Amino acid sequence: MQLSEQELLRRENLQKLREMGIDPYPAEAVEVTAYAREVQEGFNDEGGEPQNFQQVRLAGRLMGSRVMGKASFAELQDGSGRIQLYIARDEICPGEDKELYNTVFKKLLDIGDFIGVEGFAFRTRMGEITIHVRELKLLSKSLHPLPVVKRDEEGNVYDAFTDPEQRYRQRYVDLTVNPHVKEIFLKRSKLISAMRRFFDGRGWLEVETPALQPVHGGAAARPFKTFHNTLEIPLYLRIANELYLKRLVVGGFEGVYEIGKMFRNEGMDRTHNPEFTSMEIYVAYKDYNWMMGMVEQLVEYVAQEVTGHTKVEYEGKMIDFAGPYRRLSMYDAIQEYTGTDISGMDESALRSLCRQLGIAVDDSMGKGKLIDEIFGEKVEEHLIQPTYIIDYPIEMTPLAKKHRSKPGLVERFELFVNGKEIANAYSELNDPLDQRQRLEDQLRLAERGDFEAMAMDEDFLRSLEYGMPPTSGLGIGIDRLTMLLTDQHSIQEVLFFPQMRPQRGSIYEPEKKQEEGSE
């Protein structure tokens, strides 16, 4: 490995520290008594007399220094933010030996090193709250030069670390130097905890179901396939957990939810990562009408908790998450945006309508798929404010209950925001014979060439035969909801480690890497 000049220098500094008897990676715990933000926000020096933080210990990364001879200013960044340090030579080196200041601090410490300081807070002549350092200790040496991002008084950023490839591959660097990036992930975490709070508060149970499944079901998507060596069977990474959660409802849990990773072996783009996080919830004795009310409360609550508001700006558009949301049937929505009533049309009429509207179709598309195409092409983009689209054609929804009064439809809704689906829910199909029939229809679609059609799951059918109470279920894409609430336009910006092609030389050659039995 070729080291750059700066990397070599840091390794030399490391060596010199060791020669001076300073352990660059000491083992002891550090007793931190204050955080940067806490001091910045809470420091009180009314009347010119410092009132608090007069004996504090902080730890963090050294992010910059301005040396002025026998005194220096430096930036310390901890988990909460940044604070300035004031380091005077004769303060940290009270005796004759000025090595700690002259050599260790000025020469051997580098930007990015973790240090611990002890001292007191004061306000400089320029008005900046600062820690006057009395003791300084190296906690961990950094061997790689960190990009130095500078900001001036107007907040202009210079030399930002912006290359998406490097930011995603070295997210640790991105998080260290780009505070706004950290903010997005804090919000993501808040979103998930708010959602948990909301569900737990209603007495629903968080559960975990298998990610490795012998039959991939519950959604229309292509799976990742793997192999279990002991069982000697192929397994699939789950594309959905719906069928397992329903088994739990069969077993008597009346409200269950799971927040977890799903895996889909499909294309990647701005809104798709091969693994993503979904929240699914099933509540017994409820229907999709009830669920629409619940989702309004949930989304409004989450938006409030994450952003502090129910109105959120996305791509320059103000989106209001306060309920109730507009409810529009799929047929009415298509009529509204195309002027055509498709409620009575059969497959061939729909196919010719698609051609008329300039939508590409092929023979593998059934009635449901054709309607979905029209909707996706002509309606979706108009649904900016939160809108429920309800009552979908039965052909495209094999796991939802038939509509109580509208033949040919199922009790399903999707929530659209800014032209994108963010939630999907049904009155769940609990008629085992109907369910068997629908899955058999899926098999026929598969034979027609639709390789995303669902597979038969006999154990799931058996569970329904034991009896599942009337139940409503909901799925929400956590990544996409996070994007909406943080005004991010790429899924990569809300995933710590989005999937990337491996860098050359960063992994073993495929032959060596290939484990026995995997494919």
Partner RNA sequence: GAGCCCGUAGCUCAGCCGGCUAGAGCACUUGACUUUUAAUCAAGGGGUCCUGGGUUCGAGUCCCAGCGGGCUCACCA
Nearest-angstrom CA–CA distance, 57 and 117: 6
Task: Say if strands 205-206 and 255-263 run parallel, antiparallel, or are unpaired.
Answer: parallel
- 105 is a contact residue toward RNA (CB under 7 A): no
Cis peptide before 407 (omega within 30 of 0): no
- 98 is a contact residue toward RNA (CB under 7 A): no
- 107 is a contact residue toward RNA (CB under 7 A): yes
Half-sphere exposure of 133 toward its Cβ, with a 13 Å CA cutoff?
A: 27
Separation in Å, CA 298 to CA 153, 219, 253, 444: 40, 23, 21, 38
**What is the nearest approach in angstroms of RNA to the Cβ of residue 382?**
13
Return the residues of window 233-252 that contact RNA according to CB under 7 A.
none
Return the residues of window 426-445 that contact RNA according to CB under 7 A.
none
Cβ pair 398, 446 in contact under 8 A: no
Residues paired with residue 388 on neighbouring β-strands, in sequence order: 327, 415
**What is the nearest approach in angstroms of RNA to the Cβ of residue 504?**
5
Q: Contacting RNA (CB under 7 A), which of 48, 127, 252, 467?
A: 127
Q: Contacting RNA (CB under 7 A), which of 374, 460, 492, 494?
A: 492
Nearest-angstrom CA–CA distance, 152 and 159: 12
* The two structure tokens encoding residue 290: 């009830």
**What is the nearest approach in angstroms of RNA to the Cβ of residue 180?**
15
Q: With CB under 7 A as the contact rule, which of the stretches 125-133, 182-190, 198-206, 301-309 interacts with RNA?
A: 125-133
Return the residues of window 291-330 that contact RNA according to CB under 7 A.
none
- 288 is a contact residue toward RNA (CB under 7 A): no
Exposed, middle or buried: residue 233 (CB in 10 Å: 0-12, 13-18, 19+)?
A: exposed
Q: Contacting RNA (CB under 7 A), which of 212, 500, 507, 518?
A: 500
Nearer to RNA, 168 or 463 (CB): 168
Q: Distance from CA of residue 165 to its chain's centroid?
A: 18
Return the residues of window 385-424 that contact RNA according to CB under 7 A.
414, 421, 424
Nearer to RNA, 250 or 299 (CB): 299
167 Cβ neighbours under 8 A, 6+ residues apart: 161, 173, 174, 178, 181
**What is the nearest approach in angstroms of RNA to the Cβ of residue 207?**
21
**What is the nearest approach in angstroms of RNA to the Cβ of residue 389?**
9
Q: Contacting RNA (CB under 7 A), which of 41, 135, 159, 313?
A: 159
The contact mask relative to RNA for 345-384 (x = CB under 7 A, - = no) is ---------------x---------------x---x----
Nearest-angstrom CA–CA distance, 433 and 466: 12
- 221 is a contact residue toward RNA (CB under 7 A): yes
Q: Contacting RNA (CB under 7 A), which of 134, 226, 490, 496?
A: 490
336 Cβ neighbours under 8 A, 6+ residues apart: 328, 379
Q: Contacting RNA (CB under 7 A), which of 161, 282, 288, 460?
A: 161
Q: Contacting RNA (CB under 7 A), which of 42, 64, 274, 469?
A: 64
* The two structure tokens encoding residue 9: 């220098």
Q: Contacting RNA (CB under 7 A), which of 39, 77, 104, 110?
A: 110
Cβ pair 166, 500 in contact under 8 A: no
Q: Contacting RNA (CB under 7 A), which of 23, 25, 44, 90?
A: 90
- 152 is a contact residue toward RNA (CB under 7 A): yes
Which of 412, 427, 474, 463 lies closest to 259 in space, CA to CA? 474
**What is the nearest approach in angstroms of RNA to the Cβ of residue 111?**
5
Nearest-angstrom CA–CA distance, 324 and 321: 9
Return the residues of window 165-194 that contact RNA according to CB under 7 A.
165-166, 168
Q: Strand (E) positions, 225-377?
A: 225-228, 233-237, 255-263, 275-284, 311-314, 317-320, 326-329
Nearer to RNA, 50 or 432 (CB): 50
Return the residues of window 462-481 that contact RNA according to CB under 7 A.
477
- 54 is a contact residue toward RNA (CB under 7 A): no
Phi, psi for 516 (deg, rounded to 5): -55, 130
Q: With CB under 7 A as the contact rule, which of the stretches 69-77, 299-307, 464-472, 511-519 interacts with RNA?
A: 69-77
Nearer to RNA, 2 or 230 (CB): 2
Q: With CB under 7 A as the contact rule, which of the stretches 24-32, 145-153, 197-205, 318-326 interacts with RNA?
A: 145-153
Cβ pair 392, 400 in contact under 8 A: yes
Backbone dihedral region for residue 53 (phi beyond 0: left; psi -120 to 50: alpha; all else: beta):
left
Nearer to RNA, 389 or 485 (CB): 389
Q: Contacting RNA (CB under 7 A), which of 33, 55, 124, 297?
A: 124
Nearest-angstrom CA–CA distance, 97 and 101: 9
Q: Contacting RNA (CB under 7 A), which of 216, 238, 264, 286?
A: 264
